Amino acid sequence: MAEFSEIHGYEVLATLGVGARSTIYAVKNGNGELFALKRVVKSSPSDQRFMDQAILEHEVAQKFDHPTLRKSIKLIRQRNFIRTSEVLVLMEMVDGVTLEKHQPDTLADMCHMCMEVAHGLGVMHKAGYVHADIKPNNIMVTDKNQVKIIDYGQSCEIGTVKERIQGTPDYIAPEQVQRRSITPRTDVFNLGATMYWMLTQKHVPTLIPKGGAGISLRTEDACKPPIELNPDTPPALSSLVMDCIHTEAPQRPETMSLVADRLEIAARQFERREQNATNGSDDGQQRNAS
């Protein structure tokens, strides 16, 4: 249940989630249309950055229109005298679950879902922005298997050098930790680290080790290829993931289009292998029957 029955004229149906200084509600308007509403309240000066992130999320989402990228519809500022005390972001309702909670049934499905993510990120990049926080929890899948990229709170213009380290430790790229220029190849790393986890259920060793014990160094041989941990991984997919998570950004695929092309090859490898296994089983059954 939600703590409110109405917010700014929208009927509150349920609380969808609670994050850093923010709460997301399922709401509907007077026409019965469903939306997600993010509410950020400023209780102290330190909350300003969370309000800024919510505003940024809306502003970035206005730069593109693609079915894989969650839409942001309206930004509402509530003022207390002359200061903004509350920010509301009205967003597209996504009825689904994150990849962190529900993964694809087959490796071919995984490849196709990640291809959709790559296409969506490519649209962001063409608009001049980097998502900068791709991870399983920021990729949602609907009951119709439609993929949605969510949460643009850490997004930035291509080439941005951030004042502080931002990102999720298990998926963060080296340049994010070292506060260097953020580029489309940053998203390539984040997506590669996401695919690595999906394939192996293990995290890529990043420059921020578990436990937050400062910043560490990572060598390329510190990370085993997915195929060594999950033999079912198509070689083309294992190779792609390792290229995506290269510590040196210039060594990663340059564009999301290239990532999507290689994912398609990997999907074909898996589907061909499955077909061969099925045909082999059928042949064996026919020989036994004769």
CATH number of the domain that residue 39 is part of: 3.30.200.20
Domain count, the chain: 2
Q: Are 33 and 17 in contact (CB under 8 A)?
A: no
> Is residue 24, in this structure, part of any structural domain at all?
yes
> Is residue 57, in this structure, part of any structural domain at all?
yes
Give the CATH number for residue 217. 1.10.510.10
* Burial status of residue 197 (CB atoms within 10 A of its CB: 0-12, 13-18, 19 or more): buried
Q: Please check whether residues 75 and 111 belong to one and the same domain.
A: no
Question: pTM to 2 decimals?
Answer: 0.89
Q: Are 202 and 172 in contact (CB under 8 A)?
A: no
Q: Please check whether residues 169 and 63 belong to one and the same domain.
A: no
> Is residue 257, in this structure, part of any structural domain at all?
yes
Q: The domain containing residue 241 runs over which residues? A: 97-271
Would you say the C-alpha torsion 237, 241, 243, 244 has a positive or negative sign?
positive
Residue 116 pLDDT: 97
Put the strands of the sheet holding 147-149 in their side by side order. Answer: 96-98, 139-142, 147-149
DSSP 8-state symbol, 220: G
Per-residue pLDDT in tens (0 to 9) along the chain, 290 residues? 456 689 989 999 999 988 778 899 999 999 999 999 999 988 888 888 888 889 999 999 999 999 999 999 999 998 876 777 889 999 999 999 999 998 898 999 999 999 999 999 999 999 999 999 999 999 999 988 899 999 999 999 999 999 999 999 999 999 999 999 999 999 999 999 999 999 999 999 999 866 554 555 555 557 899 999 999 999 999 999 999 999 999 999 999 999 999 999 999 988 888 888 777 655 555 555 54
Q: Please check whether residues 215 and 126 belong to one and the same domain.
A: yes
Residue 44 pLDDT: 82
Q: Please check whether residues 88 and 107 belong to one and the same domain.
A: no
Residue 151 CB-half CA count within 13 A: 19
Q: Please check whether residues 131 and 260 belong to one and the same domain.
A: yes
Residue 290 pLDDT: 46
Q: Are 13 and 25 in contact (CB under 8 A)?
A: yes
> Is residue 284, in this structure, part of any structural domain at all?
no
Domain boundary residue among 35, 59, 92?
Answer: 92
Q: Are 158 and 188 in contact (CB under 8 A)?
A: no
> Is residue 147, in this structure, part of any structural domain at all?
yes
> Is residue 263, in this structure, part of any structural domain at all?
yes
